[in-house]
Amino acid sequence: MKTHTLLMPLDMHLHLRDGVMLENIAPLSAYSYSGALIMPNLVPPVNSLEDVKAYKARIMAAVPNDYFEPYMTLFYKNYEKAFLESVADSILAIKLYPAGITTNSEGGVSSFNIEEMRPTLEAMSNLKIPLCIHGETDGFVMDREAEFMRIYELLAINFPKLTIIMEHITTKEAVAMLDKYENLYATITVHHLILTLDDVVGGMMKPHLFCKPIAKRPEDLEALLSVALEAHPKVMFGSDSAPHPQHKKESCGCAAGVFSAPISLQLLCEVFEKYGKLENLQAFVSDNAQNIYGICPEFKEVTLQKRPFVVPNHYAGVVPMYAGETIKWAIESVD
């Protein structure tokens, strides 16, 4: 049977939430990944050194072994330089949300006034703290990411030494930015390497494939695949896996978020194999992130096997992507 081994897989965009949900789902990522960049959009958001340390401790307590590193982030606001110096060693990045743009983002940035942001962003630049951004405007749902490109450009030009990560990109416009500005990087989810809006609302409406940014057009999918499959060095994997209880997904108003954590590595194998690019997956799912963030993750060797795997209907009350469906790869062993 065909197998494929990955070393130190990394998920550079992960939502673990808190409390019982955290306890239930953190082990699923810890099982197959060496580490993950943990998003800070809790209620209230993670925005102090104490918060970061306490949240990291809760995550560590929830995972069953030492072979998983939660790389911590801070929720962006305009911070003092002295504070950033004090927190720099405890975080890997700072995550910026436009206010109200997605789950628990109410305290985010409401206007991109470069001069007001300058002291914070210059301090981050000097301290080499990357800025991760959920890049959407409040415009029409299919245009939000493309409209945000002017903000990325403004930031990339004004802060040329700041590492800026365009998170979970979904459009050809975002892909085009990678080769235009040296300091712009991107994460891509596995579901955005598979889905278009057609899969979400083209047949039946699928709440478990609904996320922000929403999956876009076929030409956008093609652009995303073109850089992911080649493991473009400025692109890395970030699942954006986000758990919601079933009743918040299958109801009269469904919350945004695809829960892919337990099957993301398997799906990545499926996608990369489908296009004959399995040899590039190692770079996409680990090496590029190590280079971009300058991290050395815990050793982990994950071997996947090409055999049918029926995705469980639930993981502790959370419905995963492709629940009940058969995917083509399974995890064989983790060392």
* Among 80, 250, 279, 301, contact with its own copies (rule: CB under 8 A): 250
Answer yes or no whether residue 306 interacts with its own copies by CB under 8 A: no
For residues 331 and 210, what is the distance between their CA atoms, to the nearest angstrom? 26
Q: Judged by CB under 8 A, which stretch of 69-77, 139-147, 267-275, 289-297 contacts its own copies?
A: 139-147
Give the nearest distance from C-beta 203 to its own copies in angstroms. Answer: 8
Residue 214 contacts its own copies per CB under 8 A: yes
Burial class (CB in 10 A: 0-12, 13-18, 19+), 115: exposed
Among 238, 236, 170, smallest CA distance to 200 is for: 170
Contact letters (x/-) for its own copies, 142-161, by CB under 8 A? x-------------------
Confirm or reject binding of residue 225 to its own copies (CB under 8 A).
Answer: no
Distance of closest approach, residue 89 Cβ to its own copies, in angstroms: 38
Piece of the chain touching its own copies by CB under 8 A; list 54-62, 116-124, 214-222, 235-243: 214-222
Task: Point out which span in 43-51, 66-74, 202-210, 277-285 binds its own copies (CB under 8 A).
Answer: 202-210
Single out the catalytic residue among 51, 220, 240, 287.
240
Between CA 325 and CA 231 the distance in angstroms is: 28
Which member of 30, 87, 175, 197 binds its own copies (CB under 8 A)? 197
Q: How far is the CB of 142 from its own copies (least distance, A)?
A: 7
Report in angstroms how near the CB of residue 202 gets to its own copies at its nearest: 4
In this structure, what token pair is assigned to residue 253? 């108003």
Q: Copy the structure tokens of residue 76.
A: 């962006």
Cα(57)–Cα(284) distance, integer angstroms: 28
- Give min distance, CB of 41 to its own copies, in A: 16
Burial class (CB in 10 A: 0-12, 13-18, 19+), 60: middle
Reduced to 3 states (helix: H, G, I; strand: E, B; else coil), residue 3 is: strand
- Alpha-carbon distance of 194 to 221, in angstroms, equals 7
Torsions phi, psi for 225 (to 5 deg): -60, -40
Question: Does position 172 bind its own copies by CB under 8 A?
Answer: no
User: Cα–Cα distance between 48 and 28 in angstroms, integer?
Assistant: 27
How near is the Cβ of 145 to its own copies at its closest, in Å? 13
Using the rule CB under 8 A, is 64 a contact of its own copies? no
Contact 60, 27 (CB under 8 A): no
Report the C-alpha dihedral over residues 310, 314, 315, 319, rounded to 10 degrees: 100
Write each residue from 274 to 293 as x if it is in contact with its own copies (CB under 8 A), else as -, in one continuous string: --------------------
Q: How far is the CB of 324 from its own copies (least distance, A)?
A: 8
Interacting positions 80-119 with its own copies (CB under 8 A): none
CB closer to its own copies out of 256 and 330: 256
Selected from 114, 141, 176, 296, the binder of its own copies by CB under 8 A is 141
Identify the residue among 7, 49, 88, 254 touching its own copies (CB under 8 A): 254
* 7 is a contact residue toward its own copies (CB under 8 A): no
At residue 120, what is the residue type? T
Tell the residue number behind the tokens 């400025």, with chain if given: 234
Q: What letter would DSSP give residue 192?
A: G
The residue among 303, 301, 302, 282 whose CA lies nearest residue 291 is 282
Of residues 243, 256, 148, 131, the one with CA closest to residue 184: 131
Closer residue to its own copies in complex, CB, 218/294: 218
Is position 240 annotated as part of the catalytic site?
A: yes
Q: Which residues bind its own copies (CB under 8 A)?
A: 140-142, 196-198, 200-202, 204-208, 210, 214, 217-218, 249-256, 319, 323
> Would you name the residues annotated as active-site residues?
240
